[in-house]
């Protein structure tokens, strides 16, 4: 998870391939169930969108089989989604500096939420969500100027270390 342009979808694809897991994208799942996000958002409003997004994510997180799930940047606005993420998920907060994010987002083209002043809007949205990202993440990884393969290596090391520590902890303290 992280702000727009942090590399969630790109890194999610590489992680899933490397880990041999299914890769899911919350935005893609939303579109498959409800149609284009922008249309849903404009016709039904943000509260309805956030509720439907919460439901989509909840369906994935309730599955027994592990996967790599890329979340939309605003998914953390739901308290229920945050609670669900804290229950057994490995959550990585991807950070990125503003200029790199806007470059990845083509200056905000095709992102109505960034219309007008993309940089200022991006900073405002990040400021609103930063604490929520930190609340549910186990790790923070800066993607600025880094290769996706290197990022995937780092995340895999973090997850494997956490799983090893958890197994060691369980064996010592039954």
Q: Is 72 annotated as a binding residue?
A: no
Q: Is 27 annotated as a binding residue?
A: yes
φ and ψ at residue 71, rounded to 5 degrees: -95, 150
| Distances, alpha carbon 145 to alpha carbons 40, 60, 113, in Å | 34, 31, 24
Contact 68, 24 (CB under 8 A): yes
Q: Is 123 annotated as a binding residue?
A: no
Q: Is 50 annotated as a binding residue?
A: yes
Q: Is 147 annotated as a binding residue?
A: no
Q: Give CA angle at 109 (95, 4), nearest 5°.
A: 20
Q: Is 88 annotated as a binding residue?
A: no
Q: Is 42 annotated as a binding residue?
A: no
Instruction: Please choose, from the candidates 18, 20, 16, 19, the residue with its C-alpha nearest in 3D space to the C-alpha of residue 28.
Output: 16
Q: Is 157 annotated as a binding residue?
A: no
CA distance 149 to 23: 16
Q: Is 120 annotated as a binding residue?
A: no
Q: Is 43 annotated as a binding residue?
A: no
Characterise 116 by phi-psi region: left (phi > 0), alpha (psi -120 to 50), beta (else).
Answer: left
Residues annotated within a binding site? 5-10, 27, 50, 73, 111, 129, 146
Residues annotated within a binding site for ATP? 5-10, 111, 146
Residues annotated within a binding site for substrate? 27, 50, 73, 129
Residues annotated within a binding site for Mg(2+)? 9
């Amino acid at each position: 998870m992280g702000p727009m342009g942090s590399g969630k979808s790109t890194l999610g694809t590489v992680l899933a391939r490397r880990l041999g897991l299914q890769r899911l994208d919350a935005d893609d799942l939303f579109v498959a169930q409800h149609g284009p996000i922008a249309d849903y958002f404009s016709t039904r409003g943000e509260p309805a969108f956030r509720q439907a997004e919460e439901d989509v994510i909840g369906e994935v997180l309730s599955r027994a089989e592990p996967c790599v799930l890329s979340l939309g940047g605003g998914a953390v606005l739901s308290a229920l989604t945050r609670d669900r993420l804290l229950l057994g998920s490995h959550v990585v907060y991807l950070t990125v500096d503003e200029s790199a994010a806007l470059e990845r987002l083509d200056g905000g083209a095709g992102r109505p939420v960034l219309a007008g002043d993309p940089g200022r809007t991006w900073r405002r949205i990040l400021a609103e969500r930063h604490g929520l990202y930190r609340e549910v993440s186990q790790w923070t990884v800066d993607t600025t100027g880094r290769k996706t393969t290197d990022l995937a290596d780092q995340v895999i090391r973090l997850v494997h270390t956490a799983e090893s520590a958890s197994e060691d902890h369980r064996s010592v303290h039954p």
